């Protein structure tokens, strides 16, 4: 089964209104943390094995999943005399979750490098812990295999403030900074990587987006799955509030049924 890696260790400084107390992936949208929304997207397509890269306030994420079943249970009975706990009906997702401390100040590439022993020899997904989308994960994986490349990212067209990708025939030819006149594709995350990509990462200081992906693009080994549907990051408080409003009015990333 293809594993899903979620990058959840950053400081989230642009959302300091929330992240002074919790890591960004634990900021709630519709009463559930962002990381839950991301996992539900992958789970909808049958991918239920997750590796979560911890860093800043990682214990908050550990505690959340430690207590997940208890919080999902409709009834809990404590027998104090017998020192036992029994749980009533609960809706349990079929998730297998490995939480890995990848360092407090480790960059995105370095976090992936630290997971090498957990990833095996198969391609794996990589998701940022602060973006949601209605991207078809099965089609993304099929596209990656068809292109026969080392890495595939999901490219999106947002309302501007990001760097631009130049794409030709489904392949990324270069990364560049956004100009005022640019309207183009950007890296929206939701990536598929071959294990060999880890060889492009030397140590904890490497950002996946700066060195490795750029080198893969120049080699002709980075494909772009061009997604024209919904995609939105949670970079700041406005984004968080926008996502809350979208959740109330039928969120496009909610692919699963309750």
Q: What is the pLDDT of residues 12-63, one digit of tens each?
A: 888 988 899 999 999 999 999 999 999 999 999 999 999 999 999 999 999 9
Residue 164 has pLDDT above 80, yes or no: no
pLDDT at 176 over 70: no
**DSSP secondary structure, 13-46, as one string:** GGGHHHHTTS-GGG-EETTEEHHHHHHHHHHHTT
pLDDT tens for each residue of 61-102 = 999 999 888 888 878 899 999 999 888 877 789 999 999 999
Q: Is residue 164 part of a domain?
A: yes
d(CA 62, CA 99): 7
Confidence band for 157, pLDDT divided at 50, 70 and 90? confident
Residue carrying the six token digits 């929330």: 18
Tens digit of pLDDT for each residue in 185-244?
Answer: 889 999 999 999 999 999 999 999 988 999 999 999 999 999 999 999 999 999 999 999
Mean pLDDT value across residues 174-188: 65
Residue 181 pLDDT grade (very low, low, confident, very high; cuts 50, 70, 90) = very low
Inside any domain, residue 257? no
Residue 255 in any domain: the answer is no
Residue 256 lies in a domain: no
**pLDDT of res. 137:** 98
* Domain assignment of residue 69, given as a range: 4-248
254 within a domain of the structure (yes/no): no
Residue 63 inside a domain? The answer is: yes
Number of folded domains that form the chain:
1
Q: What pLDDT, on the 0 to 100 scale, is given for residue 162?
A: 55
Residue 253 lies in a domain: no
- The mean-pLDDT minimum among 8-22, 135-149, 157-171, 214-228 falls in 157-171
Look at residue 107 and tell me if it is in a domain.
yes
What does the alpha-carbon distance between residue 222 and residue 216 come to, in Å, rounded to a whole number? 5
Looking up residue 119, the CATH number of its domain turns out to be 3.90.550.10
pLDDT at 160 over 70: no
């Amino acid at each position: 089964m293809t594993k899903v890696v979620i990058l959840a260790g950053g400081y989230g400084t642009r959302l300091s209104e929330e992240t002074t107390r919790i890591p960004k992936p634990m900021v709630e949208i519709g009463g559930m943390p962002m990381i839950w929304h991301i996992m539900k997207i992958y789970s909808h397509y049958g991918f239920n094995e997750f590796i979560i890269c911890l860093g800043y306030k990682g214990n908050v994420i550990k505690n959340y999943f430690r207590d997940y079943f208890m919080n999902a249970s409709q009834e809990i009975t404590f027998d104090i005399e017998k020192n036992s706990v029994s749980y009533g009906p609960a809706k349990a997702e079929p998730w297998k979750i490995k939480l890995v401390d990848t360092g407090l100040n480790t960059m995105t590439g370095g976090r992936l490098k630290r997971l090498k022993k957990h990833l095996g020899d198969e391609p794996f997904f990589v998701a940022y812990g602060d973006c949601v989308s209605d991207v078809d994960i099965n089609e993304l994986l099929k596209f990656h295999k068809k292109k026969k490349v080392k890495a595939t990212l999901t490219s999106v067209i947002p309302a501007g403030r990001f760097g631009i990708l130049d794409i030709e025939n489904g392949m990324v030819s270069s990364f560049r900074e956004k100009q005022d006149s640019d309207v183009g594709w950007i890296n929206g995350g939701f990536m598929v990587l071959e294990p060999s990509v880890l060889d492009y990462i030397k140590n904890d200081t490497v950002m996946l987006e700066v060195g490795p992906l750029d080198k893969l693009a120049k080699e002709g080994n980075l494909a772009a799955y061009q997604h024209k549907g919904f995609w939105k990051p949670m970079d700041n408080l406005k984004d968080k509030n926008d996502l809350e409003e979208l959740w109330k009015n039928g969120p496009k990333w909610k692919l699963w049924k309750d």
